[in-house]
């Protein structure tokens, strides 16, 4: 299950990178207005980053495994 999640995440990231690359190339060739698209991409990435940071905080601080506890606790 753990390797499945890693592979799925990798494929999603590859797809995202390819999408951003295509958008950037279309902007370079002036097929689309790049200013609005880049602003929306960066705002979306900021929102995703904040959400990921919150999820990471929840998993590391609130939901702890018994294996990660320090000895003597």
In a domain, residue 70? The reply is no
Strand stretches in 1-73, DSSP E: none
In a domain, residue 47? The reply is yes
In a domain, residue 49? The reply is yes
User: Residue 66's pLDDT band (boundaries 50, 70, 90)?
Assistant: low
In a domain, residue 73? The reply is no
Number of structural domains the chain divides into: 1
Residue tagged 């959400």 (tokens): 51
pLDDT for 9: 80
In a domain, residue 71? The reply is no
Domain that holds residue 42: 2-64
Q: What's this model's pTM, rounded to 2 decimal places?
A: 0.54
In a domain, residue 69? The reply is no
User: Residue 67's pLDDT band (boundaries 50, 70, 90)?
Assistant: low
Q: Please give the Cα distance from 4 to 58 (Å, whole number).
A: 22
Residues 1-60 have pLDDT tens digits of: 678 877 888 888 888 888 888 887 887 788 877 778 878 888 888 888 888 888 888 778
């Amino acid at each position: 299950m753990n390797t499945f999640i890693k592979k799925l995440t990798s494929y999603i990231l590859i797809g995202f990178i390819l999408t951003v690359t295509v958008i950037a190339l279309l902007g370079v060739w002036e097929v689309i207005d790049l200013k609005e698209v880049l602003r929306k991409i960066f705002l979306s990435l900021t929102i995703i980053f904040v959400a990921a940071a919150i999820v990471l905080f929840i998993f590391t601080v609130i939901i702890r495994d018994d294996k990660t506890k320090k000895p003597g606790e």
